[in-house]
Structures are given as C-alpha cells and as structure tokens.
Amino acid sequence: MTRELVCITCPMGCHLKVDGVEGGSLNVTGNRCQRGAAYAREELLAPKRTVTATCRVKGAVAPDEGVGGSTRFPPRRVPCRSLAPFPREEVPKLLQAIYNLEVALPVRSGQVLIADALGTGIDVIATRSVS
C-alpha cells in the first residue's frame, strides 16, 4: 500500500509517497532532499512527539474561592514538557500521568517532575518557576 505524507522538516512541504511500509524496507519518492526520506522513515516506523501539558499545583484554590485581589497569581497550573520527543502511541498514557501529578511549590524551571516516564528513559520537566 502506498502511504502519502507531507514532509515537515522545512517549509517546502514536499508531498512524499512511501511504498513498502509493511515489509519495513521503505521506498520514498517525492522528496527533494534526503531529510524527506529520513522523516518518512521515522514518521511511519516510530513516530515521536514532544509532549507539553500542565499539571496541578498542590493546594491551589479556585479564583472564586480566593479573597479579593489577584486571581491569576500564583498560577494554578505548572507547565511541563517531555525532555525529548516521546513515542506517539504512548502520548495519551503520558498525559494521564502528568494530569495525575500534584506539584508542591516552589517549583523551578527544569526540575524533573517525572523521571524515566513509562520506562522510555525520557524525563518530564517543569517549564516555569513558581514560588
């Protein structure tokens, strides 16, 4: 079966046609440079995505529960991301693990929130310092 892909390595957006996905020996056409073939191989055989999300702050109150003043600071969510692109089929599981977290303040940017997520060797780090 021929698979069709748009290459995202650069803005040219080459339309790639790939044969032989089932057998594992890919034949890529339509690419204007070698990066297109490499992209097609990874995207079809082992697609990866950088995951960004937010997790809960321990003890955060909803704005309407606060007493006057600013409702936006300190933030009620801490942003985080996977330190490297993550296997795509595992992304929903990783998101669930992030949503189950409750991070105690203070937190600093770069702090590891989940080490070796789902046994992939990839850490999830906080991307904002909140004190």
Partner 1 sequence: MKELDFDAVVIGGGAAGMAAALELDARGKTVAVVEREESLGGILMQCIHNGFGLIEFDQELSGPEFAERFEKRVAESRIAAFCRTTVIEIDVAGELKTLICASAEVGVLRLRSRAVVLAMGCRERNRGNVRIPGSRPAGIYTAGLAQRLVNIEGYIPGKDIVVIGSGDIGLIMARRMSWVGCAVHAVVEILPYPSGITRNIVQCLHDFDIPLHLAHLTTKIYGKSRVEGVEITPIENGALRSEKAFDIPCDTVLLSVGLVPENELSRKAGVEINPMTSGASVDSTMMTSVPGVFACGNVLHVHDLVDYVVEESRRAGAFAANWLEGRRPKAEIRVKAGSNVRYVNPGRVEPGRENKLYLRSLVVKNDALLEAKLNNRVVRSSKKSHVQPSEMMTLVLGPSELDVAGALADPIIEISIL
**What are the residues binding partner 1 (CB under 8 A)?**
6-8, 10-13, 49-50, 52-54, 56, 60, 63, 70-73, 75-77, 79, 81, 88, 95, 109-110, 127-129
The CB-of-19 to partner 1 minimum distance in angstroms stands at 20
CB closer to partner 1, 25 vs 44: 44
DSSP 104: P
Gap between the terminal Cα atoms of the chain: 54
CB of 32 to partner 1, least distance (A): 8
Nearest approach, Cβ of 27 to partner 1 (angstroms)? Answer: 21
Nearest CA to 14 among 31, 28, 2? 31
Nearer to partner 1 among residue 26 and residue 60 (C-beta): 60
